[in-house]
Chain A
Amino acid sequence: MDTTSETNVMPPPSPGPKRFERSSTDRIIGGVCGGLGRYFNIDPTIVRIAFVALALIGGVGFVVYAAALLLVPLDEEAPPAELSTRDRAIAAGLIIALALAAVTLGSFGLVGGFALVPLWVLLIVGVMVYSFAEGRRPGESPRRVVVRAVQGFALMIACIALAIGSFFASGLGGGVVVAGLVIAAGAGLIAAAFVGGARWLVLPALAIALPLAFVSAAGIDLDGGFGQRNEHPATVTELRDSYRIGMGELVVDLRDLELPPGDHALSVDVGAGRALVLVPENVCVASKATVGMGAVGVFDRDSGGIDVDWNDNRRSLKRAPRLVVDGKIGLGVLEVRHRDDGHRGPHWNDRNRDAGERNRACATSA
């Protein structure tokens, strides 16, 4: 057989479309910039500078690089697959979701400029979460590290969602059930220890246990509704002895009341948020309160921190009415004032002093 003559007859093979492949020879991390430089016939250093600039502008460069690292093949013969199809699909989906979230939020002006720069921090956190959950490092290859980091980050997001759910479930009276889940997770871990272990179960178990511990320690009771509540009794008969809200702001405005001399009890209960009691200047206020985490401010006196136990027992001047406030705040602030200046947040006591807020209707000695 005359092969030479056949070779002469056959047309030369078509070069085919130009392929974008990562460079195996010109690489610093994964060869993406080297491959792009070769594809566009430009110096890879320029591509690298462009990627760094893109990473600083909203972290886009980082997302694009991670996606290319995952999806673009190396220019050499492909090594045996080191990731399962499921792993690749999960990572690709999460990266695309992340990129879409960045673009969407950016279009609403919610994320701009340097807001996404800490993406690399999130990926490091993802690697740490993965390493803790699996008890081993994610591997040496950049692609594997990126995939594991994304999985670890997704696990962290799931744990945050669990923690929020646990907080509300515990605050709304489901603490016994949540505690039972923690015990069940512990039992599951012990059982799994004999068949290879299930380390990943620790993170979700802690994610539900710690918010429950916080709710229990602070005494947070979210029963009573959410949002803003303004109570403005116009007459003494409309004045209730108890007001409460689960989460939000409760304002009890008593400034229009003509309280008769004598004691008047007022109980204020807020699970998480702020309670503001506004009283006329001719009313003496005696107060006691417990605050799990937060502060109490009664005119020019205040106390804050954790496990706050407030007691400011005052006697009223002759013929002056006395309001006896009993506050219970899980997480937040209890304020008693004469005027509402509209300011919220810390340092109210300084403003109260500046505004001359005093418990003037009380006797000088407690």
Chain B
Amino acid sequence: MRRRRTAADGFSLTAGLVLIVFGTVLLLERAGELDLSFAVMAPIAFGAIGAILLASGLSRRG
């Protein structure tokens, strides 16, 4: 009997990837490998929020 596969939740996947990238940038900054001012950090943070909102808007749940 063939097992039915459940589709992955697109929003959770996208948000998870965004958080991992964002968290890695923050980790490198705190570890002293990067030195980010507001001019750089603000676009990164708003980009992350925007990507999550976009994924939320595009995802559909029953």
Contacts and interface: CB of A to CB of B under 8 A. Distances in A.
Interface of A: 132, 135-136, 170, 175-176, 178-183, 185-199, 202, 205-206, 209-210, 212-214, 216-218, 292-293, 306-307
A175 to B, nearest CB: 4
Nearest to A180: B27
B9 A197 contact: yes
A178 B18 CA distance: 16
Nearest to A217: B41
Nearest to A216: B29
Contacts of B45: 209-210, 213
A218 B18 CA distance: 22
Given A197-B11, A292-B38, A179 B16 contact: no
Interface in B2-17: 6, 8-13, 15-17
A307 B43 CA distance: 14
Given A186-B18, A217-B42, A292-B38, A136 B23 contact: no
Contact of A186 (B8, B19, B49, B59): B19
A209 B36 contact: no
Contacts of A191: 16
A175 B11 CA distance: 27
Contacts of B44: 213
Q: Which 6 A-B pairs have the closest CB atoms?
A: A186-B19, A197-B9, A189-B16, A182-B23, A175-B30, A190-B16
A341 B22 CA distance: 45
B12 A189 contact: yes
B30 A192 contact: no
A183 B27 contact: yes
A180 B16 contact: no
A309 B15 CA distance: 35
Interface string B22-41: 11101101110000111111
B1 to A, nearest CB: 21
Contacts of A182: 19, 22-23, 26
A136 B61 contact: yes
A213 B31 CA distance: 13
Given A175-B30, A202-B15, A209-B19, A194 B39 contact: no
B3 to A, nearest CB: 14
A212 B27 CA distance: 10
Contact of B26 (A132, A135, A175, A197): A175
Contacts of B23: 179-183, 185-186, 209
